Amino acid sequence: MSITLSIIYLISTITFVIGLKLLGHPETAKKGNSIAAFGMGLAIIGTIFLNNLEVPIFIYILIIVAILIGSVIGWLIAIKVEMTKMPELVSLFNGFGGASAALIGIVEYGNNQADITQVTTIIAAIIIGSITFSGSMIAWAKLNGSLKKDIRLPKYNLINNLLLIALIVFGFFIVNGSINGEIIIYILLLFSLIYGILFVIPIGGADMPVVISLLNSLTGIAAAITGILYDNMVMMVGGILVGSAGLILTFAMCKAMNRSLSNVIFGAFGGDSVAAKKGSTIGGHIKKTNPSDVAVLMNYADKVVIVPGYGLAVAQAQHVIHELEELLTKKGVEVSYAIHPVAGRMPGHMNVLLAESNVSYDKLIEMDDINPQFKNTDVVLVVGANDVVNPAAHNDPSSPIYGMPILEVEDARSIIINKRSMNPGYAGIQNELFFNQKTSMLFGDAKETLTKLVQELKNM
């Protein structure tokens, strides 16, 4: 490797670290993303033109054409994707990263069978990459509604564990040379893909944010393994950063849900479990309200807290909610947003959604900081959120979300919940908050209903 290429790789590595650091705050995230992307572009250019590889010019042409095609596709997706589809897009990106690692392993297997270290990394890349790809495709199907029902085979945990052990043992025999041949690699690929499907398919929709983060981590690990295979520092560092960041985020979300990672993976929470069905029998009387009455309540409030959820994203109502916030602020009302760590369908979903409508970052308050403030809050407006405000997490030991930290909106003086219907949330359980004496249900599409609410406030 030339000195120039080594320097380029070092610069790229530094940009990755700086970019990741800046991604830790919404205000600097865009800048961090640009810096890391610049570093990756620099590394790609250096790898192509400074490696002194004796390959036909036709290969360089193919590489450049592939990069151009991928860049155009990525750009078109980025400008057209809706915020509600962002979790699905992340799942697809995770899957493609895993698929590339698996394909690299298959291609390189025939050229490195004599080197046990190389064979080990190749087998690991194939197994992890394949699991990530098929698992991400299932996660994508669950998120976009193509796969609505959680499928659980009898003794699925036992089947999954036995298959994983079989994959590890099979890979070990390939590494030590007990079995070999091109067909063996494709058999390993096939069963790794099957395991990825079986691994994700029983996990309920409520756990999809954790699953996405975990699969993202596996993609990073797969990238780091291919970096070891090619002795490429940038691939190794980039993969390690993605893998470690993904794991940290995964454990942080598990903590926010008061559950262990093993419970998420093996518990299959959030679907048609007995506990979920039992939790859905909650009932009682509800109070309905309308935009006019809510406008009066908010107009004379001193403090209003807005709780955004996935329903807000679906209705594309982030701009209207920002207009509501600005209108209330002009009237002298203190307004803030309560952000739960696992609100939405992916980590940070609500932060990105509200940033899109230019909501000030200072108004986004995390769960631990906002919970003590609810007792002094006049009105809480819950828009599209469900499980993250469900008091069953504190009150009902039989509930599948029992023990999960929630936004304690029930402590506020008045609670307004905007939903289309009384349907349960993503966890499949009914919300006790709907029947609270302080709660009024504001039924309707979030964008249409909030627009009416804004108009009512303007007329006051």
Rounded Cα distance, 210 and 257, in Å: 10
364-366 and 303-308 as β-strands: parallel, antiparallel, unpaired? unpaired
Specify whether 293 is catalytic: no
Catalytic residue (one of 115, 231, 293, 387): 387
Name the residue among 214, 127, 219, 225 with its Cα closest to residue 172: 127
Q: E strands within 119-242?
A: none
Question: Which helix (H) or strand (E) element contains residue 443?
Answer: strand 439-443
With beta carbons less than 8 A apart as the criterion, state whether 254 and 375 touch. no
How far from each other are the two terminal CA atoms of the chain, in whole angstroms?
A: 71
Q: How many residues does the chain have?
A: 460
CB hemisphere CA count around 386 (13 angstroms): 21
Beta bridge partners of 288: 441
Question: Which helix (H) or strand (E) element contains residue 166?
Answer: helix 156-175
List the strands of the sheet with 303-308, edge to edge.
364-366, 334-339, 303-308, 379-383, 414-419, 439-443
Residues noted as catalytic: 387
